[in-house]
Amino acid sequence: MCGTRSISKRERPTDGRWPLWRLGALLYPFAAAAVAINLFLLGLMWQVVGIPVLSPILCVLLSIPLGIPASWAAARWVRQLIDEAEGRHRTGQD
Domain boundaries, the chain: 20-86
* Strand (E) or helix (H) holding 69: helix 56-86
Confidence (pLDDT) at 2: 57
Q: Is 89 or 82 the better-scoring residue by pLDDT? A: 82
Residue 81: pLDDT over 60: yes
How far is residue 93's CA from residue 74's CA, in Å, rounded to a whole number?
16
Q: Is 71 or 5 the better-scoring residue by pLDDT? A: 71
44 Cβ partners below 8 Å, 6+ apart? 53
Confidence (pLDDT) at 24: 95
Per-residue pLDDT averaged across 24-34, rounded? Answer: 96
How far is residue 4's CA from residue 30's CA, in Å, rounded to a whole number?
39
